[in-house]
Amino acid sequence: MTEAYETVIVGGGQAALALSYFLSQLGREHVILERGRVAECWRSERWDSLAFQFPNWSIRLPGYEYRGGDPDGFASRDEVVRFIEQGDQGFTAFTRSVDDFVLRTGMDAPEDVQVSPSHPGLPEPDELDLHAAAITSVVWATGFRYDLGWIRLPVLDEAGEPVHRRGVTHCPGLYFLGLAWLHKLKSAVLCGVGEDAAYLVEHIAEPRDLGRPQRTRTS
């Protein structure tokens, strides 16, 4: 069986769910492809002790905002995962699309796959005397680089960075979302990814010369 969708979203994180929300609002058919579970990076690629880098009042996704009792606090990793799961309507659409596909194809899929963390936990001291520990400098170096070499299209520069304008590339139908500084400082975080998602959906929804693709199925 072969199926075609108008829009394919690669990755099931906060950016994908924000985009899914706006596509669903327009009634545009789409599918999310995720190698693990929704928000997998938050689940298995973050330290257990990680706290959200902005106050809780800034945690939001399209259609849902923080509703807890500590707006000036900082959510833990698990609290962020629960927020993404429970608060975003895109997660419901994602789960429904997966369930429908499993039922339709008769796939023998597990109910939930538990992914072990890729790093062990470390003991955390309650306090640290920098002078007593002879620590004279602290360097916060948590940067990373994208590995987009698997994209074999003319949308990357010599350094392997995507070439785009607010996520829109020169390759028709190919977009980026959720990247650091995609458009603003907050483009890669929960409180800002929704704005860029709404912008991209406007482009996705624009009429094309070939007409709007329709879902097809062949056996």
**Taking the CB of residue 171, how many other CB atoms lie within 10 A of it?**
13
Tell me the per-residue pLDDT of 72-97, one tens digit each, with 9 for 90 and over: 999 888 888 888 777 555 455 555 66
* Whole-Å CA distances, 22 to 81, 88, 184: 20, 11, 19
Residues 6+ apart with CB under 8 A from 142: none
Mean confidence (pLDDT) of the chain: 76
* Whole-Å CA distances, 43 to 12, 36, 109: 12, 10, 20
- Residue 136: the pLDDT is 67
Q: What band does 185 get if pLDDT is binned at 50, 70 and 90? A: confident
Domains (range + CATH), the chain: 2-120+146-218 (3.50.50.60)
Residue 118 has pLDDT above 50, yes or no: no
For 192, the token pair is 């800002």
* Range scoring the smallest mean pLDDT among 75-89, 116-130, 157-171, 203-217: 203-217
Residue 219 · residue 1 · CB < 8 Å:
yes
If one compares 124 and 126, the residue with the highest pLDDT of the two is: 126
**Taking the CB of residue 25, how many other CB atoms lie within 10 A of it?**
13
Q: What band does 209 get if pLDDT is binned at 50, 70 and 90? A: very low
The DSSP code for 176 is -
- Residue 11: the pLDDT is 82
